[in-house]
Structure 1
């Protein structure tokens, strides 16, 4: 049995590598990075993070999440027919091509597969191979789909909580009143290897497995490349705590959906499993609205006294100091900032050394200092909100 499962897993890995959705997702992640770097150069005349960082974020966390699904499904044996696999792939591709990463959530991706399971009638495509991709719509277990959707929402929430808050991208936007303010954007795409069982194959059923018997006595293994996306523009607060709260809310919805699907399994009620899908769509959409932050004042803005740190360039002098995004630099080399005093001008008071007076998140003052060298960034690698011409700046109320 173990050898058969191992061989099936190997075939599943091959199916993942030859699936076009794998490469469409990686290209999309690369384009996200390319767009981010272009925007960085427009706003700050420098690149903040490397263009390939988004591709690395897509692969590594997704594989780790996929392994957790693999272990769980090896025990449960949730079976999905080929027609539903195709519907999930089509749904993900349709959302990907729109570029709306905020809707690339399992809650929205599963709308098309569920509708197909309820209403789609297979048609003759003139090819036995093509017709085989339409099988199973009438026999799919809605309980299995609900369990998968709930578990994937938990995974999505964990990815948002643990990964989306890393390397958020600073940017400059226009407020409703036309004032230049700062914001942090995170646009992330994770490529999750979703381990599923298909009806028919070399893996034999046992007395306790699979959890939901599909009607066949043998099963095969498939790894479906499932992209999960997240996008958020944060202007009203610090990015990390806001993103963590967002992740917790998504996990909560996933746990609720999984519990409801579990109850439907024990009472054998597919109608209860079916109710999971409109609920998670409504709740996931509510989370999008809840975290928009509309009509809230901008956190990163120009102030009369001090400069708010909008961003810190990696491996810059500021990155090596104990400075955090969102803190306020009130003095440089004894000169108060604000009222027209430029940060660079204050630094030039001592070309070999700088001493910063910093106001932390608790309103307490501390001092940071270090030596300066000719080959280092002229502003220590700190990014601030500075009034300048932005031809394609956006209204943050529409993007948040």
Structure 2
């Protein structure tokens, strides 16, 4: 019955429904932009959630086991703050605001002023804040930073969104946008219900003498980064290492709050400033290095590759340069299409790889294959 009640709380949580609304709105805008830029839909609708369903459930299961096993729970006020800031930050339309640092950080800063608005709250949201509350909440911020880093391991070069625009010199250049949103249905203990205590230490602290229950909380984790100088997978590996270090630092500082309480506040500051430093370093790198997705004198620069397309099967990667198709030199989308049509049964492609070395790939050409083999170019038709 406790599990059924927890599921019921999950489906009445506004974040659950807002997740699908947010994904749909963002996806629709992205498809409209792709049609305007490339003339067709590059990736399917709702692809911002692609690849994160199974990994999100696995991650949620691991986190739920940890939280239930340790007897960690969130008071109602904490849950309301997480919901409120998730909804507020999502109004920006940028998934980069839906990360654990901003949501947990803003909630923690709001709790610092709790004595000033406590009298205005209903009784169900009032809580006697203790050292344990602070340590649990700030540690959760660090844990979900690690969860965000774990989601980055799913980044693939053919699952980020290519974009094209006119650069400062009047030439077409490209970029890749990593934009994903994950739904994590995490199981928490909360002080409403009739569960018996499992172990002597469970839960780890008391809440106004209340009985305990379970709640599935739909936490939203967003990723959004624009990359011009590196491949998305290379950037994700770079960011993954630094987010892991940041998450561990926040957790360690939070837990040492048992010994010296001011370190709890320091953990919040480190999380917020550390995240901003990572964003600043990313912008600096993008500004001070040449773009990977600019036009090439050697041929056609590959900006994007459709997953499960002929080009993907041939091993063509973003950032590479196609110089010849079926023996014909190509420099734009028209020439590429005409070269493909010169042999309707077979295609052979000469490519400069990312190391500047020439390589060849070939494949049978079937009726119904994408007219560009599933490739998106920096410079297309003229």
Task: Tell me if TM exceeds 0.5.
Answer: yes
Aligned to 2:265: 274
Deviation at 1:327? 1.9
Q: 2:98 aligns with which of 100, 104, 112?
A: 104
Structure 2: distance between partners of 1:309 and 1:364: 15
Task: Please state if 1:247 is matched with 2:240.
Answer: yes
Taking a change above 3 Å as real, the CA distance of residues 78 and 94 of structure 1, as seen in their structure-2 partners, is same
CA contact (8 A) 1:150 1:254 kept: yes
When the two chains are superposed, the root-mean-square deviation of aligned CA atoms in Å is: 2.5
Change over 3 Å in CA distance of 1:213–1:339 after alignment to 2 = closer
The residue matched to 1:192 in structure 2 has which SS? strand
Q: Residue in 1 aligned with 2:88?
A: 94
**SS at 1:342's partner residue?**
helix
SS in 2 for 1:63: helix
Note the C-alpha offset of 1:57: 4.6
Q: Tell me how many residue pairs correspond in the alignment.
A: 376
Distance 1:14 1:216 in 2: 24
CA shift at 1:101, angstroms?
A: 1.4
Change (3 A) 1:379 1:253: same
Please say if 1:366 is aligned against 2:362.
no
Asked if 1:148 is matched to 2:131, the reply is no
Shift of 1:87: 0.9
Describe the SS at the equivalent of 1:98: coil
User: CA shift at 1:55, angstroms?
Assistant: 4.0
Aligned to 1:199: 191
Residue 27 of structure 1 corresponds to 21
Structure 2 residue 71 is the aligned partner of structure 1 residue 77? yes
The aligned residue for residue 398 of structure 1 is none
Q: Please tell me whether the aligned partners of residues 173 and 180 of structure 1 are also in contact (alpha carbons under 8 angstroms).
A: yes
**Match of 1:396?**
none
What SS is found at the alignment partner of 2:21?
helix
Equivalent residue in structure 2 for 1:285, among 272, 276, 281: 276
**Which residues of 2 match residues 1-400 of structure 1 at below 5 A?**
7-57=1-51, 59-120=53-114, 121-124=117-120, 131-136=122-127, 138-139=129-130, 141-163=133-155, 167-205=159-197, 206-214=199-207, 216=209, 218-265=211-258, 267=259, 269-292=260-283, 293-338=286-331, 342-386=335-379
Is the 1:235–1:298 Cα contact (8 Å) retained in structure 2?
A: yes
8 Å CA contact 1:29–1:58 kept in 2: the answer is no
CA drift at 1:144: 0.6
Contact 1:330 1:337 in 2 (8 A): yes
Q: CA deviation at 1:347?
A: 2.5
Aligned with 1:228: secondary structure?
A: strand
**Which region of structure 1 is more displaced relative to structure 2, 329-338 or 89-98?**
329-338
Q: Which runs of 5+ in 1 are unaligned?
A: 1-6, 126-130, 390-400
- Following TM superposition, by how much is the alpha carbon of 1:85 offset from its aligned partner in structure 2, in angstroms? 0.8
* Alpha-carbon shift at residue 56 of structure 1 (Å): 4.7
* TM-score, length-scaled by structure 2: 0.90
Greater alpha carbon shift after TM alignment, 233-242 vs 131-140: 131-140
Gap change, CA 1:104 and 1:165, over 3 Å in 2: farther
CA distance in 1 between counterparts of 2:51 and 2:309 reads 22
Q: Secondary structure at the match of 1:182?
A: strand
Note closer, same or farther for the CA distance 1:275–1:33 as it changes in structure 2 (3 Å cut).
same
TM-score (norm 1): 0.86
Q: String of CA shifts for 1:345-367, please: whole Å, max 9, x gaps.
A: 33233333221112223333222
